[in-house]
Each structure stands twice: as structure tokens, then as C-alpha cells.
Structure 1
Amino acid sequence: MKTFKVPNRDELSQANQDLFDRVKRHLGRVPNSYAFMASSENGLATYLALSNAKSSLSIKEKEVINLIVSGINGCHYCTSAHTVIAKLNGFTQEQILEIRRGAVSFDEKLDALAQLVKEITNNKGNVGEKVIANFFAAGYTNEGLVDTVMVIAERTFSNYLNAIVNVPIDFPVAPEI
């Protein structure tokens, strides 16, 4: 598989150099996936706007989505990145592995979310009535449903791009499950 070159800051437009600087100030570095998105004049800015948009979902809920979608899509880059992010947001290693397997025995509400995300991702948006009823019974609303699909779309974009360009993983590599 071809690995695409990750551009460095000096190879980018001024607007993307400014984004690089902001990302570096916020994260301490620019992840390779973000750097490749900056190959497009608008790619990184658009992705960051979606990624940082207001949401009814908590950061933990978003990480459940990120881990499950990345696993189903086979994106080792995003799985590794979101394993680190999930730890930073309070999940234990054992919980992260369980989430990656598609279940959340330690939290009923997160499990209802996980089941919905698995079904949406595996079935291209087609969801059984029982799974959606369980999602709503767990306390989610129509707003939560919309926000869940938005996070799935965001993660699917980065999963697909990373699969195509095969950027080097610059996070500790997540263990296989």
C-alpha cells in the first residue's frame, strides 16, 4: 500500500500554516492525519470546524462513537489516537478495550449508544427498531441522534482518508483485539 507524504508546515498555504500553529498550541504537535488534511486548502479547517462543533454529546460519548466506528472501519490510526484520547477523558484501558469490542457493560446509557453506533456503521445507516428504541429509552433524544450521526460522519471521513493515504501512526499503537 502506498504511503502518502505528510506535508510539513512550510509546504502549506498561509491559512493552513496558521491552523498548524493553532493546533500545535492546543495539542503540543500536529498529528499526521491533520497534517495530511491540510493538503487541501479547506480540508483541515472544515474538519476542525466539524470536530469542534457544539454537541449535546459528552466527550465520553463522542469517544465511544470514535472507538467503535474506527474499529469497524479498521482504522488503526484513529483507533490509536482515540485510545489515547479516551484515556485522557477518564476511561480505563479495560473499558477502552470493551468499547472497542462494541459493548459497554459498565454503563447502560453508553451501551445503548454503542449498540446504535455499531448498527449504523455496520448497516450504512439502517437501524432496527429495537436498537433505536433502546437508544431513546436510555435517555437520548432526537438531538442526540442527530449529533451521534454527525460524529459517525466525522470519524468515517477521517477513517476513510487514513485508509487511502496510510499516514504513519504518530500515537502509541493501540493493542489488537
Structure 2
Amino acid sequence: MRTFTVPTREVVAPKNQEIFDQLQKALGFVPNLYATIAYSANGLERFLAYQNAKTSLTNKEKEAVNLIVSQVNNCEYCQSAHLVLGKMNGFTDEQLFEIRTGKATDAKLNTLVQLASDITKNRGYATPELVEAFFNQGYTNENLVDLILQISDKTAMNYLHNLTKIPVDFPVAPKLEVTF
């Protein structure tokens, strides 16, 4: 099987070098998974624009979706990254553990996590009762569209890591034996 290495600034396209510099300045490092996207001359710019676009979901909701999708897709890199980002967005360790198991104490967030999990594991399909529960919690059509876009963002990153197996450069998420 092919071994993927993380490309360095020196070997990526000039536009990606600029993005590496921006990431270095903003984050203090260039995450390995972003660097891996830079194998594509246009991929990193395109992906970051998509990832950073405005959404109707709150940052906490986005992180909950990112974490459950990464758990369902069994992506060690993204689970690790989103445990860190989840804490930065106000989740406790206990709440993050709960989300990884497909639940949340908060009823509205619980509905979001369950629906995101169901959509992910069923490749775009969902149990009608979960969709109805989502709307009953006050979510809107706009929120549903943004949820699907968030799932697609995270699924792309999960697939990239699951295929390339580049090194995780965040504290590694503890393994959970969860079946979805």
C-alpha cells in the first residue's frame, strides 16, 4: 500500500505556500490534514472557503456534528482534532464523550447529534422519526441544509485521513468501542 507523507511548504504550489503561511500565523502550525490537501494545487483554498463559509449552525453545533461524524466514520485524526476544538468551543470532557457515543444531555443538541449520526451511517438517508424530531426541536429547513453541508465537509476530511493515514498532530483521541 502507498505511504503518504505530509507535504512541506517547499513542495506545494505557490498559492498553497501562502495558505500555509496564513495557517501558521493563525494556528501556530499547519495541521497535517490541511497540508495533505495541498497535494492539490487548488484543493486547500477551495476546501477552506467551503469549511469557513457562513452557516446557520452555531460553533458548538458544528463541533458536535464534526465529532459524531468523525466517530461514525472512524477517523482518528478528526476525532482527535475535534476533541480539542470542542473544548475550545465550551464542551466539557464528559459532553464530548457523550457526543462520541451518539448522545447529548441537551435535548436539542441530542437531536442534532442523533440525526447527524444517522445520516452519516446511512449515507445520506435518515430515519423519518429523527428528521421529525429535529424539526420539533426548532430546527429549520435552513438548518437541515447546513447540517448536510457540515456532514459533507467532515466526511471529506474523514475519508482523506482514512485513506492517507497521515500522522495525527493533535493529542490522540482515546479509542471508544461504539457501534453505530
Structure 1, unmatched stretches of 5+, are: none
Question: Are positions 1:156 and 2:120 aligned together?
Answer: no
CA RMSD of aligned residues (A): 0.9
Question: Aligned AA for 1:55?
Answer: T
CA distance in structure 1 between the aligned counterparts of 2:168 and 2:2, rounded to whole angstroms: 14
Question: Are positions 1:5 and 2:5 aligned together?
Answer: yes
CA distance in structure 1 between the aligned counterparts of 2:73 and 2:127, rounded to whole angstroms: 20
Q: State how many pairs are aligned.
A: 176
CA distance in structure 1 between the aligned counterparts of 2:3 and 2:109, rounded to whole angstroms: 35
Give a deviation string over 1:124-166, Cα, whole Å, max 9, x none.
Answer: 1111221011000111000000000001000000000111111
| TM-score, structure 2 normalization | 0.95
Aligned to 2:96: 96
Aligned to 1:123: 122
Aligned to 2:164: 165
Distance 1:136 1:176, change over 3 A: same
**1:102–1:114: 8 Å Cα contact kept in structure 2?**
yes
- 1:46 offset after TM fit, Å? 1.1
- 1:175 offset after TM fit, Å? 1.1
Structure 2, unmatched stretches of 5+, are: none
CA distance in structure 1 between the aligned counterparts of 2:67 and 2:22, rounded to whole angstroms: 25
Question: Are positions 1:24 and 2:24 aligned together?
Answer: yes
| TM-score, structure 1 normalization | 0.97
Secondary structure at 2:123 match in 1: coil
Give a deviation string over 1:60-107, Cα, whole Å, max 9, x none.
Answer: 0001100000001010000000000001111001110000000002x1
CA distance in structure 2 between the aligned counterparts of 1:76 and 1:98, rounded to whole angstroms: 17
Question: Aligned AA for 1:45?
Answer: E
Identical-pair percentage: 51
Secondary structure at 1:49 match in 2: helix
